[in-house]
Structure 1
Amino acid sequence: MTDTESPQPGSAPHEGVVTLTDWMSSRTDEQLTEMLRLRPDLTVPPPATLDVLAGRSQQRASVLRAAEDLDTLALTVVEYLALERADDNPVSRTRLDTLVGKRATKKSVTAALDVLRSRALVRGTTDLTMVPSARDAVPWRVGRILDAKPELTAERVDAALASIEPRERELLTTLAKSSSIGRTKDAAPGTPPDRPVQRLLAAGLLTWLDENTVELPQQVSQALRGEPVSDPSSLTPPAVTAVSHPISDIDATAAGEALELLRQCASVLDALGSAPAPTLKAGGLGVRELRRVAKSAEVDETRVALVVELLAAAGLIASGMPDPPPPGDNGDDMWAPTPALDAWTAASPAKRWAALATGWLETARLPWLIGMRDANDKPVAALSDEARSTAAPRDRRVVLGVLADLRAGESVDVADLVRTATWRRPRIAPRLGLTPVTKFVAEATTLGIVAHGALTSAGRALIRGADAAAAMHTAMPEPIDYVLVQADLTVVAPGPLTPELHQTMALIADVESAGAATMYRLGETSLRRALDAGMSAAELHALFAGTSRTPIPQALTYLIDDVARRHGRLRAGVASAFVRCEDPALLAEVLASPAAEPLALRALAPTVAISQAPLADVLAHLRAAGFAPAGEDSSGTIVDVTTRGARVVGRRSRPLYRTPAVPTDEQLGRLVGEMRAGTKASEVRRSEGVRSDGTRASGAATIALLQRAAASRSSVSIGYVDAAGVSSERVVEPVAVGGGQLDAWDPAGGLVRHFTLHRITSVSLLG
């Protein structure tokens, strides 16, 4: 039920209600549950009564948090109510409509008031009362709406800025980079008109507030910072120019980007698995190591910075002690893949993409900051704390939410995106400037969440909590189970391969080029790799015969047979390692080669030699010397000794910032019932005289008594329970009451103290 509907039977009417506690009592359980859902901080710790809830909901910090999601219209309504002092005396809805005028429709103002009431920032329908702290939620100077200059369009601002002198522009730039309000004696009447401030006032580039104060209009500030210019007095969302694209084209482009990103992620994971990267002392991945990974993975360095952030967000890489440790390990932490990589690799491409996209959407980091200079003029390292931002997930959702509200396939330029996002969330407008929004869209494009400036079907499903993997699976081309073998020993995969065939091709061939179609190169080294893994020549012939849509070239048949004939004639095993060969001449050649010395090979018989080096090292050295040995186990069966790469188990680090858990609707419903019961029990106890000193009748009476004492500058005696639960009696002189807090002069301490209202147990007026 909204406030414009009739209250349910048994509920008190809203009009005439003075206190916030009584107004909350008149709300339905559903309305209170919704308020607690929108303001979860009010539930920690659970308030015992509605009295406590009302006091807590007026706390400045809680009010500012509740106002984060308010748009420009709702905050302007708060501004008008603040100008009319609605925190002291109710303001009629008719008066508010008169103030708003034609800037917004009555329907939209009603909707804004419903939003404010749902958060307990405003109460009443015909007569409106505002929580005092709500004034502080307005992110601009209260009263700016009265001085707004809608005539300052982007063209007029540019023309005016072009006509001023460098000294005057410097003055404006200083205001644009700091506070928009400046203090100057040159604003006083009678100041010579040739002074810079007077010239800027005459040109409309400054707004006169009083004889000592001027303000930089928002449009001028935006133009100086290179931001899209918007009218601050507009109470309607900015008009945007949407361009329509076929959704099929958008999804197809996104699928291509997603597949390319998955290939790059696999390359970076292989590089980090083969050679883990040391963790910087301050955390993160150093520039030199980032370049090494980029070179090894054959991926652009800027793209690698984003890729490692995505992999970390998805839990696929972490910093810790890798297993097995790399050569020359000194015990320091290193960045390497986690055990989650194995399950991720085995998943379908769409599910692998969904893991990356979800990680990016929820990560409290800004990957686009990598490489920029920090406060100490040092480049921001990948995976470092300097790129951390707890507001990042929220900001991404605001930007993508603007695109989600367009029709499928529609895109807008970044300037319109910035204007709309900042109109919707003016309190976080500094974080939604041209640069951050552009970077958000660029990252979303790389991930396939956005394509051609429009939200993809998979991106829309992602931000709405639907099955994003299924949407991306539909957009991706169907995996194919065949390849095209060429006469030059290249193999073309004209689309994404099935997971099984993809893994097989990665084993027996080297990627030469990737894209919509992947080109593989067959060679002696790649075929030997397949034989080392246990495949036989017959299996290789059968594989190409069964998967190639083109005839098998004779050169490939000869190559397979030739490599297989030479492969395994020389065999190495564990002794630590042994080398055996049916051809004594070949083994003698091995013992006389340069590889024998570092391996410390020693002949036991004409066909057998041993080494103390590990089997993998023996095989590597012999292959490097030009031989083609095969590994075998104790039974003589060929074994694959290829390592899977290092793995590191990520440690659960204590988060730098904690956000309150959002309770479920069922939990909130129970809490509302408990507060109503607690309020009723409190009223019964007060009616029976069960109270500390008999002076406090209700929370409303306490506030009224304190406000009266503040107005008459009288002293009061208060009973107070501090955060440690210690009770005390104090004599103070109230100064101000509001926002859930009492500010009072303490004669004993000689200073102003602050008391939380719901901790005051009794009040007695002393005179």
Structure 2
Amino acid sequence: MTTTLADHLRLLPDDALAALLEMRPDLVVPVPADLSALAIRAQSRVSVARALDGLDDFTLKILDAARLTRDPDDGLTSVDAVLTIATTPRGVDRATARRALDRLRALFLLYGPESALTVVASIEEVCLPYPAGLGRPAAALDSRAAHLVADPARLRRTVLSASPQARAILDRLAAGPPVGTLPPGVLDDLTVAEPATSADGSEPVGKSSPVRWLVDNSLLVPIVDAGAPTRGATVELPREVGLLLRRDCGPLGPLLPQPPTPAAPNREPKAADSAGAGQAMETVRHAEALLEALSAEPAPVLRSGGIGVRDLRRLARSTGLDESTAALLLEVAYAAGLAGEADLVGAATTRTGADQQVLPTASYEVWRSGSLAQRWDHLARAWLSMPRQAGLVGQRDDRDRLITALSAEVERAGAPAARRAVLGILADLDPGAAPVADEVLELLAWHAPRRSKGREAAYREVLTEAAQLGVTGLGALTSYGRLMLTEVIAGDARTTAAEQDPLGRRTGSGEPTAEPATAIRALDALLPAPVDHFLMQADLTVVVPGPPEPTLAAELDAVAELESAGGASVHRVTGASLRQALDAGYAADDLHTLFKRRSRTPVPQTLTYLIDDVARKHGGLRAGSAGAYLRSDDEALLTEVLADRRMAVLSLRRLAPTVLVTPLQVGRLLNALRDAGYAPVPEDATGAAVLTRAKPRRAPARTSIANRVTDPLATPKLTVPRLLGIVEQIRRGDAAARAARRVPASVRSLNGRAGGDSGQSQAHTQAMAVLQQAVRDKALVWVGYVDAHGATMSRLVRPVSMAAGYLRAEDERTEMLHTFALHRITAAVLEE
């Protein structure tokens, strides 16, 4: 069969062979040596399974039709036989079935002429043993069953005489699979009525049971496992009985040439986009809040990997999220390179998962300076590409251990393919289509039934996560989500065009083409424009009427405290926030200028007084290390601090009228004084005030997974020039292999194996004469020679010259010029 398939591949033109490699790119990883190797790989179990995984339900049913219609003697079928069974008795157009059959032939799962199609042998190993859910023919199961089905009228009467319970069992087995299992010992003696449980688990098995009646009447054939009798018996429904029961729906069962149509009502596309854009804003805000919480208090890494449950709960509480959403955003931020592990300062060990903390990376600062749409796009691409399933966080693994966030147990190689499959289904629907989860699963089961089986829970998680991240809105795929999906899967159209036309010869007039719309621009159009101002209220609240620009957001973080976030955020200016700004290096004049420049409403007088009052007190006390010291030019102020009962924990004592000292560190001294309402500032060894904002710790920079991985399970798409180059390489290898098989017998016999010195000398002399004649006639000649390693080789060449003890000849297959030492040539025969 391998040779037959290889012969069919040799008859294909280069374009058709390139089309096969494009549809099945795994066949060229690595590139096969020749067409015979390509045929072997195309029939391998792994490659056939990969090809079947991409077929829809209707095409797989047509493949089952080919399996059912094979001749039992030679194993061949025909196009007409397949189309006949596929269009019987109703419902399927012959042209539609022909298109599915042509797809199978293009994939070379079926090959050969239309009158003698061959099914690839590995199909039986990869697919279920019961094509279309039908059992084996009765003749292969039992002689009594074969005798029954040989009389169609008797078979119909027997089926009609079955009780309702027995008919229900027949209908269930006819729908497939056609086998059922019985408890042990049930069929040991068919004449003894022994109470037991039937195949459906509801009826006692005995002389009057439905299963026993079906077996006695040869409608079911028992298949007892002689090697393991304690495991019970299996009953199988003969194929002819199944075909009779399917007389209404057809031999292949219900056929759906087209995917099912969702019944859910469509959403207004603008409403879906608006809802998704609002959720995208919340996603960015919550991700930033989560990373800020990690910056303030990094989460320690467990020795087993990941972060603990308590740390995840702490992060969820600090950001106002539930634990599942916090875990999702943490996983996405980690995949986007915004969070990472960093070793603890002074850690004694560097073992993986020990003495490390999770905190924002250096890339976080760059990400935070971008626009809302850019930040969302960065997160969404990382989510689409990350090989991790965040929904597993909080569940139990096979060893009943809790799965934690950022741990290795969350990794799933098929997660990117699942996200692309779900979003691809939504993208194929009309804009605004919002199918429910069950309808999406039904569409996935039609498009790729082999790939979707058993992954329903993962697909539901994808729909939930897409809604949480703002990829979908009101259940429909957003317009910017559709663009983002297209860019991630298909890549930039200009890049693809450049790969297929590296010299740029296919451009039209040479004018620059318009830049295509991107997901970032589409989302920017839906989001409110960033604002560079705020509204100052009399109660010292600051209202930002929209998403703030990065510079305004940084200024508000320094001078005010966030009270509520959303489309319009509210901040409050307090004495503590102003002290924080002064500690960061702002002066009183800077604060007055900031509020006057940014506020569109008059600055209230109370704010001016508050700034001046806080600035006047700020720096009145100066702290240093002694443990720590406290000094002031105001002796009365130091006396007040020394007498303050709240300062008793500091164990202060006076060294001089203007100096107090404490055994505690300066940081604790500053915190205690600020908690008591004082406004100290630290100073260095020279007495200069230290007015700087503390630099937050950052983990080492990490690259977003969206820039490194597209789909771990996908084979890279091959361009047309690359495909044609591979085809040429395979054909050259095939020509070489075929040429090696047709080396003349005289060359093989004389190639280093001639007997005696005189025989070798005579053969060498004859070879020189043949080569001289070939040089004059420019003819092809087979040359046998001994290479530098002592191995005997043969090559078909066209001699160019003979001089200085060397033969120079051209190999037409490789278009290379070879040089042979004349004393190493053992034989030469002209090509016939």
Higher-Rg structure is 2
Is the 2:182–2:198 contact (alpha carbons within 8 Å) kept by the matching residues of 1? no
CA distance in 1, matches of 2:423, 2:236: 33
Choose from 27, 30, 49 the match for 2:12: 27
Contact 1:603–1:609 (CA<8 Å) still a contact in 2? yes
The count of residues paired between Structure 1 and Structure 2 equals 636
Tell me by how many angstroms 1:616 deviates.
Answer: 4.9
Q: SS at the partner of 1:464?
A: helix
Kept after mapping to 2: 8 A contact 1:50/1:676: yes
Counterparts in 2 of 1:306 and 1:215: CA distance versus 1, 3 Å? farther
Residue 75 of structure 2 is aligned to residue 98 of structure 1: no
Q: Encode CA deviations 1:53-78: one digit per residue, 9 max, x unaligned.
A: 11112110121122221111121122
What CA deviation, in whole Å up to 9, does each residue of 1:724-759 have, x standing for no partner? xxxxxxxxxxxxxxxxxxxxxxxxxxxxxxxxxxxx
Unaligned runs of 5+ residues in structure 1 are: 1-15, 148-162, 217-230, 695-767
The more displaced of 366-375 and 505-514 is 366-375
Q: Does 1:286 align with 2:308?
A: yes
1:300 maps onto 2:289 in alignment: no
Larger RCO: 1 or 2 (CA < 8 Å, sep 6+): 1
**Structure 2 residue aligned with 1:644:** 696
Which of residues 328, 347, 360 is equivalent to 2:370? Answer: 347
Which consecutive residues of structure 2, in runs of 5 or more, have no partner in the other structure?
Answer: 137-163, 204-208, 224-233, 238-252, 493-517, 750-832
Whether contact under 8 Å (1:325, 1:646) holds in the other structure is: no
**1:445 Cα deviation after fit:** 0.6
Return the offset for 1:462: 1.6
- Shift of residue 126 of structure 1? 2.6
Deviation at 1:346, TM superposition (A): 1.5
> 105-114 or 423-432, which moves further after superposition?
105-114
User: Equivalent of 1:420, from 431, 443, 459?
Assistant: 443
The RMSD of aligned alpha carbons is: 4.2
C-alpha separation in 1, matches of 2:529 and 2:286: 20
| Residue 40 of structure 1, CA deviation | 3.5
Per mean C-alpha deviation after superposition, the further-off stretch among 390-399 and 580-589 is 580-589
User: Are positions 1:111 and 2:99 aligned together?
Assistant: yes
Could you list the per-position Cα deviations for residues 149-179 of structure 1 after superposition, in whole angstroms to 9, with x for gaps in the alignment?
Answer: xxxxxxxxxxxxxx99xxx99xx9xxx9xx9
Aligned 8 A contact 1:602 1:610 in 2 = yes
Whole-angstrom CA distance in 2 between matches of 1:191 and 1:51:
59
Give CA deviations for 1:93-151 in whole Å, capped at 9, x if unaligned: 1111111104533343343334334433223463433221123443683231689xxxx
| Matches of 1:184 and 1:640, distance apart in 2 | 80
What amino acid maps onto 1:643 in structure 2? K
Aligned with 1:210 (options 210, 221, 232): 221
Q: Paired residue for 1:61, among 46, 51, 71? A: 46
Q: Return the alpha-carbon distance in structure 2 between the equivalents of residues 130 and 61 of structure 1.
A: 16
Shift, 1:323, TM fit: 6.0
Sort the Cα spacing of 1:486 and 1:691 in 2 relative to 1 into closer, same or farther, 3 A.
Answer: farther
Q: 2:127 aligns with which of 138, 141, 156?
A: 138
TM-score (normalised: structure 2): 0.68
1:374 maps to 397
Structure-1 separation of matches of 2:624 and 2:16: 75
| Larger mean Cα displacement after TM superposition, 463-472 or 345-354 | 463-472
Q: Superposition pairs for residues 525-674 of structure 1, below 5 Å?
A: 525-572=576-623, 579-590=630-641, 606-607=657-658, 616=667, 618-631=669-682, 636=688, 638-648=690-700, 662=716, 664-665=718-719, 666-674=721-729
Per the alignment, residue 221 of structure 1 pairs with none
Structure 1 residues 35 and 640, CA, compared in 2 at 3 Å: closer, same or farther? farther
Q: 1:571 offset after TM fit, Å?
A: 3.2
Pairing partner for 1:183 from 177, 181, 184: 181
TM-score normalised to structure 1 length: 0.73
Deviation at 1:393, TM superposition (A): 1.0
Q: Is the 8 A contact 1:294 1:304 kept in 2?
A: yes
Indicate the larger mover: 89-98 or 109-118: 109-118
Q: 1:437 and 1:650 mapped to 2: Cα distance?
A: 29
Instruction: Assess if the C-alpha contact under 8 Å between 2:533 and 2:544 holds in 1.
Output: yes
Q: Identify which of 474, 491, 507 aligns with 2:525.
A: 474
Q: Give the Cα separation in 1 of the matches to 2:430 and 2:192.
A: 55
The amino acid across from 2:694 in the alignment is: T
Contact 2:392 2:410 in 1 (8 A): yes
Letter in structure 2 aligned against 1:662? P
Contact 1:284-1:384 at 8 Å conserved across structures = yes
Work out whether residues 363 and 701 of structure 2, in 8 Å CA contact, stay in contact via their aligned partners in 1: no
Give how far 1:471 is off.
2.3
Letter aligned with residue 581 of structure 1: S
Q: In structure 1, what is the equivalent of residue 765 of structure 2?
A: none
Q: Matched residue of 2:313: which SS?
A: helix
**CA 1:534 to 1:118, structure 2 compared with 1: closer, same or farther past 3 Å?**
farther
CA shift at 1:541, angstroms? 2.1
Aligned to 1:359: 382
Q: Are 1:685 and 2:696 counterparts?
A: no
Which of the residues 563, 570, 584 maps onto 1:519? Answer: 570
Q: Which amino acid aligns with 2:123?
A: A
- Give the letter for the 2:734 counterpart: T
Letter of the structure 1 residue corresponding to residue 716 of structure 2: V
Identity of aligned residues (%): 36
Mapped partners of 2:27, 2:665: distance in 1: 63
Q: Counterparts in 2 of 1:28-427, with a 5 A limit? A: 28-85=13-70, 89-101=75-87, 102-124=90-112, 126-127=114-115, 128-138=117-127, 141-144=130-133, 181-184=179-182, 196-197=198-199, 210-212=221-223, 213=234, 233-322=255-344, 332-427=355-450
Rate the CA distance shift 1:125–1:500 in 2: closer, same or farther, 3 A.
farther
AA in 2 matched with 1:248: K
Asked whether the equivalents of residues 50 and 675 of structure 1 are also in contact (C-alpha less than 8 Å), the reply is yes
State the 1:437 CA deviation. 2.9
Equivalent residue, structure 2, for 1:463: 485
Residues 46, 671 of structure 1: 8 Å contact kept: yes
Seen in structure 2, the aligned counterparts of structure 1 residues 98 and 271 have a Cα distance that, compared at 3 Å, is same
**How much has 1:399 moved relative to structure 2?**
1.1
- What is the CA distance between 1:519 and its match in structure 2? 1.6
Structure 2 CA distance for partners of 1:581 and 1:17, relative to 1, 3 Å: closer
Shift of 1:316: 1.5
Cα pair distance change 1:276/1:214, threshold 3 Å: farther
1:250 shift after superposition? 1.3
- Kindly indicate whether the alpha-carbon contact (under 8 Å) linking 1:279 and 1:333 is maintained by their aligned counterparts in 2: yes
Q: Which moved more, 1:249-258 or 1:279-288?
A: 279-288
| SS of 2:453 mapped into structure 1 | helix
Q: 190-199 or 438-447, which moves further after superposition? A: 190-199
Structure 1 residue 260: deviation in Å? 1.0
Structure-1 separation of matches of 2:748 and 2:64:
41
C-alpha spacing 1:195/1:582, structure 2 compared with 1 (3 Å): closer
Deviation of 1:474 (Å): 2.0
Query: By how many angstroms is 1:613 displaced?
Result: 7.1
> 2:473 matched to which residue of 1?
451
How far does residue 22 in structure 1 lie from its aligned partner after superposition?
2.1
Matching residue's letter, 1:385: A
Q: 1:17 to 1:367 in 2, by over 3 A?
A: closer
Q: 3-state DSSP class of the match of 2:579?
A: helix
Task: Tell me which of 423, 429, 437 is aligned to 2:452.
Answer: 429
